[in-house]
Structure 1
Amino acid sequence: MTLKLNINNRFTKELPADPVLTNTRRQVREACFSYVTPRTPSQPSLVHTSPEMLEAIGLKGNEQSDYFLEVFSGAKILPNTKPYSMCYAGHQFGNWAGQLGDGRAINLTEIAHNNKYWTLQLKGAGETPYSRTADGLAVLRSSIREYLCSEAMYHLGVPTTRALSLVLTGDMVLRDVLYDGNPEYEKGAIVCRLAASFLRFGNYEMFAAHQDIPTLKTLVDYTITHHYSYLGSPSRDVYIAFFKEVVAKSMDMVIHWQRVGFVHGVMNTDNMSILGLTIDYGPYGWLEGYDHNWTPNTTDNAHKRYRYGTQPQVVLWNLIKLANAIYPLIESVEILETILNAYQNDVEIAYFEMMKSKLGLIENDENDKLLIEALENVLQLSETDMTIFFRLLSQFKSNQSLEGIDCIKEAFYNPDEIKESIKKEWTEWFLKYQTRLKKENLNDKERANQMNTVNPKYVLRNYMSQLAIDAAEKGDYTVINELFDLLKKPYDEQISHQKWFAKRPEWARHKVGCSMLSCSS
C-alpha cells in the first residue's frame, strides 16, 4: 500500500544540499539542508491523529493503515522522497549560538493539496548532523504538549504550525526534565507537524554569519518566490517589501499571543518563523494569574527575558537580528531602521486596539489608554485568572447597580485578599468602565457576543496538558481526545465541558509540568 500524496520537493530541488551524506555531527557550510534517514522505532503505535489535517493533506481514511503508521513513525520512507534536516543558526537568550539546525526534526517531504503547500516534518525521529550532543529523540510528555497546543492555537485564531499525528515509538528515552542531574527514562514519541515552511530567522542568520552572500541570496529569493510571490520577482525593492511583510506577520502573531495570554517561553531567533507562525512548542504556557513578569521556562526564570510582558519587544529584537542578516541584499541601514522604528509604533497601536476589543470597546475615547493601564495594574494586585476574568467581564452590564467586582469574583485565586485598598481600586475601575460603556452603540448582549469572539473560554492550561500526559503514560488516551475536541471550539460555551473553565487547581501550582517547564523533550 502507498499513500496518495502529491509530492513536490521544491526545497531540496532548488536549494543547495550538504554534499556529505553520512549522519555525523558536523559544521555545514554553503548548504541549506542535509539529507537524513529517520531512525526506525522498535514498536510504533498510533496515539492520535487530527481529522482536520488528514483531510487537509488528502489522507483522510488512511490513518488506520499499517503503512500510515510506518511512514509517520519514520520506519518507512515515501517513494520518490529523500528526508532532510535544515541548517540554521541563531541567537539564544540574547547570545549568538552559532550553528544549531534541526537537531531532532526531519522533514519527510513536501506536498501540494487543494492549492495549499505543506512540509511534513517528524519531530523526535532520530539524530541529524545538527543534533550536537543530543539523541534527536522526543518523549511522550513533550510530544503531547506540542500536538495539542499547535491545534489549539489554530482554533484560537493564532498563526501556527499544525499537527497531523502523535505516535509512540516503543523505545525509552533518557531525559533530565529539570536539568538537576536526575535523568529518568520516559516513553519515546514522534509528532508529525505541518507548515507551508519551517524556515526560521536563524536560516538567514547562518549564511550572513559566514558571509556566504550567494547562498543567502538564493535562500531569500526562494522564500520570496514560493511564500511571498505577491511581492513580485526578487529585487532590492522586493527584499525591502519582504522584510516589511515579515515584520507585519511577526507583529500580528505576537499580538495574538498577548490577546489569549500565551507565553512562548523560548523566543530565540531559531524559534522565529519567517512566515509569522508560532513554531516550536517547548516550555510554553498560558497565564493563570495575570502577570506581565511570568515565564513558564525554568531556564529563563532568573532573568525572565521571555516573560509575557516583553514578548512584543523580544520580537523586535529578533527582527533586528533578521535585518542584520539580510542587510547585504539591501545595503541601507536607514531603510531597515525605518521599518523597525515603525514596528515600535505599530505594535503599541495594535496592542491598544487588541485590548480595546477584549473590553468590548469599539468607539474612540481619549481616556481609553488610561482605562487599560488602570486595568492592567489592578489585575496584578491579587492573583487574578486572565482567561476567566475577561470571559466573565462580558457579563457586566452597563447599567448594573451591583458592584462590578461581583461579575468577576470567580477569577480571584485568593478572594479574601479582595478587600480594603484592593477592593477600592477595583470598584473605581468598574465605575470608569461602566461610564465608558455608555458611550458605545452596542447593547449589552451585542457587546458580550463581540467580547466572546476575542476572549476564549477554554485554553490549554499546563495542568490540563499534564492530566492528559499522566493518563497517556498509563495507556489511557481519553483525556487527549477530550482536550483535542474541547479546544476546537475555544470560544463556545460548551456547557458539557464546564469543568475545564476553572482556575488552576492548587495541586498544580508547583508541580513539574504545570508550573516548572524546561526545554527538555
Structure 2
Amino acid sequence: MRLDFDDRFRKELPADPNEENSRRQVSGALFSYVTPRVPTAPKVLHVAREVAELVGLTEQQVASDSFRDLFSGKQVAAGTRPYAMAYGGHQFGSWAGQLGDGRAINLFEVRHRDQQWTLQLKGAGATPYSRMGDGLAVLRSSVREHLCSEAMFHLGVPTSRSLCLLTTGDEVMRDVMYDGHAAMEPGAVVCRVAPSFIRFGNFELLSSRGEIELLKKLADYTIRHFYPDCRDGETEPYGKFFQAVCQRSLQMVLGWQRVGFVHGVMNTDNMSIHGETIDYGPYGWLEGYDPDWTPNTTDRAQRRYRYGNQVEIVFWNLIKLANALYPLVEEAEPFEAALEEFQNDFRTQDLAMRARKLGILDPEPSDEALLTVLETTLQETETDMTLFYRLLANVSPDRMDLQADDFLAPVYEAFYQPDELVGEVLQRWRDWFEMYFYRLNQSTTSDQQRRQEMNQVNPKYVLRNYMAQLAIDAAEGGDLSVIEEIAEVLRQPYSENPQYEKWFAKRPEWARHKVGCSMLSCSS
C-alpha cells in the first residue's frame, strides 16, 4: 500500500536491543520491536473516510484487500517495523512502575499534507509490556473506541482519531465485570491515529529510573517535532514545553466538561503529551446531571475520576509530569508558574464556557452564582444534561410565563421523573429561571443570536452508552447498519438533523442498569 512513511520515532530514538516478544522490564530504550499477531479471518466493519483522507489513503486503497490485511495486523508494510512503546504511570493515584503498550502496536508514521501521523493498532497481540495480558481486544470495546474517537473530534474536543474497525475472526476470553463470569467474545482491532502516542508516562518512567540522558533525548525529540516554538530564544525549552502541555491539557478537559464527557480512567499513562483525549475505555456521557458520576466500576468506591473531579485530576497529572521533567531544569519556578497559570486560566475559561452554554456571551464574576444555582437545581430531580442545555436554547423570557403551572414545558423532555417537579423542587426551578431571565435582560444579545451561540456549544447528539451498546449488539449479530447510522449522526452533533431525532432522547429505562449502559469496566 502506497503511503508516505516517515518513521521518526523509531529512527531517532533508542530501541530495545532484545527483539524477543517476552514479558520483561525494558530499560535504556523507548520502545521494543514487535510483530502484530496474524488474525484468522479479518473483516473490515467500518472506516472513517475522513481519517483515511487525513493520512493519504484513497477510496480505492480503502476498498482493497491490502487495506484489510495491513490494518488487521495480517501483513506488515514493506520498509516499516512495528513497535510497542515503554512508559510508566500513576494509576488511580499510585505509582505503577513500567506499564507500556500492552495491547497497542505502532505500525508506522506517515506524512501527508505537511502533517505527521502515527498509526497504531489496538488489539493486535501481545508485546513485551503485556504483563499477564494477551494483547487482544474484543468487538465490544473496539466499537466503543472507534465511535467515540470520531464523535469527540466532531464535538470539537481534542482527541486521537480512529481510522477503522475490524473483526479478526478469532474468539477472545474476557470477564466483562471482573466477577468470575468469563466468556468468549469476538476479537477485534482498531487503528488509532494521532500525531504521536507519547504520554506523560513516557517521561515518568525515565525520570523514575534516573535515565536522565534518555529523558532529555525524548524531551528534545518531542519539542523538536511537536513544540518547535519552545526552542525560540536562549532560555531552556523544557519549562516552556511544560507550559504548552498545560495549556493544551486545559483545553481538552474544558471540552470534556462542556459536553458532559467522563473519561473514566485518567491515569498519567492515559494522558497525551499533545493534550488530546486518548485511550477510550470505561468512558461515558452524563445522563442525569451528577458531578459525582463515574462510568468505571474499578473506581466505584473512590470515584477519583468522576465528572466533577476531572479538572483537578488533570492538574494532579500535570504535577507528576512536572516532577518527571524537573531533572532537565533543576529549578521549580518554571513549573510552578505554568501550574499557577493553568489554575488562573481555568477559572476564567471555565466561567466563560459554562456561561456560554446559557447563551451569556459577556460573562461577569457575578454569573458564578447563577451557574452554581443551576448546577444544584439540575440535581433536585434526575435531569438529562444534554437534553436540558439543548432545549434551553428554545426558552425565551418573552414567551415563558413563570407563573403558569407548566412553565417548564420547553425543557420538560429533559426530566427523567417529571412527577417530582412539584412543591419546593418546582419552586427552585421557578426561582432559577427568574434569575436567568433577569440576567438575559441585562445583555444586548438577541434571542436569535443567543440560540445560535448555545446550539454551537451544546450538542444535540452525543454517544450515549446505550447507543454504543445497541451498535455492539447489532454488530455481534452481523448487522453493521447501526454502527453506520450512529457514526453518521455523530459527524454532525450540533445540527438538528430531524431524520435522526430518535437519538435525541433520554436513556431508555431498560438501559439504566444494563451492563455496558450504566457502569463499565476496563475489560477489553
TM-score with structure 1 length normalisation?
0.98
Give the C-alpha shift of residue 345 in structure 1. Answer: 2.1
**Corresponding residue of 2:26:** 28
Aligned with 1:415 (options 415, 418, 437): 418
Q: Does 1:157 align with 2:160?
A: no
Pairwise CA distance, 1:508: 0.3
The structure 1 segments of at least 4 consecutive aligned residues displaced by more than 4 Å after TM superposition are 233-236
Q: 1:434 aligns with which of 433, 437, 456?
A: 437
Residues 1:468 and 2:471 are matched in the alignment: yes
> 2:38 aligns to what SS in structure 1?
coil
Structure 2 unaligned regions, length at least 5: none
Deviation at 1:510, TM superposition (A): 0.2
Which residue does 2:236 correspond to in 1? 237
| Alpha-carbon distance between aligned partners in 2 of 1:35 and 1:516, rounded to the nearest angstrom | 36
Cα distance in structure 2, aligned partners of 1:323 and 1:147: 31
Deviations 1:461-512 (A, max 9, x none): 0000000000000010000000000000000000000000000000000000
Q: Which residue of 2 aligns with 1:363?
A: 362
Shift of 1:180: 0.5
One-letter amino acid of the counterpart of residue 44, structure 1: P
Q: What is the rounded CA distance, in whole Å, between the counterparts of 2:290 and 2:348 in structure 1?
A: 21
- Aligned-pair identity in percent equals 57
Q: Please give the alpha-carbon distance, in whole angstroms, between the structure 1 residues aligned to 2:143 and 2:80.
A: 27
Alpha carbons of structure 1 residues 364 and 180: separation in structure 2 relative to 1, 3 Å: closer
Distance across 1 between alignment mates of 2:281 and 2:100: 16
How far, CA to CA, are the matches of 1:419 and 1:332 in structure 2? 59
Taking the TM superposition and a 5 Å limit, the aligned residue runs for 1:50-61 are 50-61=48-59
Shift of 1:338: 2.4
How big is the shift at 1:44?
Answer: 0.6
Contact 2:355-2:363 within 8 A present in 1 as well: no
Deviates more, 1:53-62 or 1:113-122: 53-62
- Secondary structure of the 1:219 match is helix
One-letter amino acid of the structure 1 residue matched with residue 426 of structure 2? K
User: CA–CA distance in 1 between the matches of 2:425 and 2:366?
Assistant: 22
Match of residue 325 from structure 1:
324
Pairing 1:32-431 to 2, within 5 Å after superposition: 32-61=30-59, 62-232=61-231, 237-403=236-402, 404-431=407-434
- Alpha-carbon distance, 1:235 to partner: 7.2
Question: 1:439-469 deviations in whole A, cap 9, x for unaligned?
Answer: 1222111110110000000000000000000
Aligned to 2:495: 492
Secondary structure class of the residue paired with 1:452: helix
Q: Secondary structure at the match of 2:192?
A: strand
Mapped to 2, the partners of 1:42 and 1:363 lie a distance apart of: 58
Per-residue deviation, 1:234: 9.7
Partner of 2:11: 13
Alpha-carbon offset, residue 230 of structure 1: 2.1
- 226-235 or 24-33: bigger deviation: 226-235
In 2, Cα distance between equivalents of 1:401 and 1:302: 42
Q: Mean Cα displacement is larger for which, 366-375 or 251-260?
A: 366-375
Asked whether the 8 Å contact 2:352–2:363 carries over to 1, the reply is: no
- CA distance in structure 2 between the aligned counterparts of 1:344 and 1:382, rounded to whole angstroms: 32
Equivalent residues in 2 for 1:494-509, closer than 5 Å: 494-509=497-512
Aligned residue pairs total 519
| Aligned-partner residue type, residue 177 of structure 1 | V
SS at match of 1:97: strand
Q: For 1:166 and 1:15, how far apart are their aligned partners in 2?
A: 30
The 1:222/1:230 distance shift into structure 2, 3 A limit, reads same
For residues 188 and 234 of structure 1, do their structure 2 counterparts lie closer, same or farther at Cα, with a shift above 3 Å needed?
farther
1:206 to 1:269, Cα distance in 2 relative to 1, 3 A: same
Once residues 400 and 164 of structure 2 are traced to their aligned partners in structure 1, the CA distance between those partners, rounded to angstroms, is 51
1:193, 1:397 → 2: CA distance?
43
Contact preservation (8 Å) 1:73, 1:190: yes
1:309 and 1:364 mapped to 2: Cα distance? 21
Larger mean CA deviation between 413-422 and 395-404 belongs to 395-404
**C-alpha separation between the residues in 1 aligned to 2:372 and 2:234?**
43
8 Å contact kept, 1:458–1:491:
yes
Conserved in 1, the CA contact under 8 Å of 2:380 and 2:425?
yes
Alpha-carbon shift at residue 56 of structure 1 (Å): 1.1
Letter in 2 for 1:418: L
Q: Deviations over 1:107-158 (max 9, x none)?
A: 0000000111100100000000000000000000000000000000000000
> CA separation in 2, counterparts of 1:5 and 1:19?
28
Q: Distance in 1 between matches of 2:506 and 2:327?
A: 50
Asked if the contact 1:225/1:233 (under 8 Å) is kept, the reply is: no
> For residues 45 and 55 of structure 2, what CA distance do their matches in structure 1 show?
19
Structure 2 counterpart of 1:454, which letter?
V
Q: Distance in 2 between matches of 1:509 and 1:461?
A: 12
Which segment is superposed worse, 99-108 or 325-334?
Answer: 325-334
Preserved contact between residue 351 and residue 363 of structure 2 (Cα < 8 Å): no
Query: For residues 129 and 232 of structure 1, do their structure 2 counterparts lie closer, same or farther at Cα, with a shift above 3 Å needed?
Result: same
Give distance in 2, aligned partners of 1:402 and 1:485: 38
Q: Would the alpha carbon gap of residues 234 and 218 (structure 1) be closer, same or farther in structure 2, given more than 3 Å must change?
A: farther
CA distance in 2, matches of 1:79, 1:300: 43
- 5+ residue gaps in structure 1? none
Structure 2 letter corresponding to 1:496: Q
2:387 and 2:460 in contact (8 A); partners too: yes
**Residue 220 of structure 1 aligns to which amino acid in structure 2?**
A
The 8 Å contact of residues 161 and 193 in structure 2, kept in 1 or not, is answered as: yes
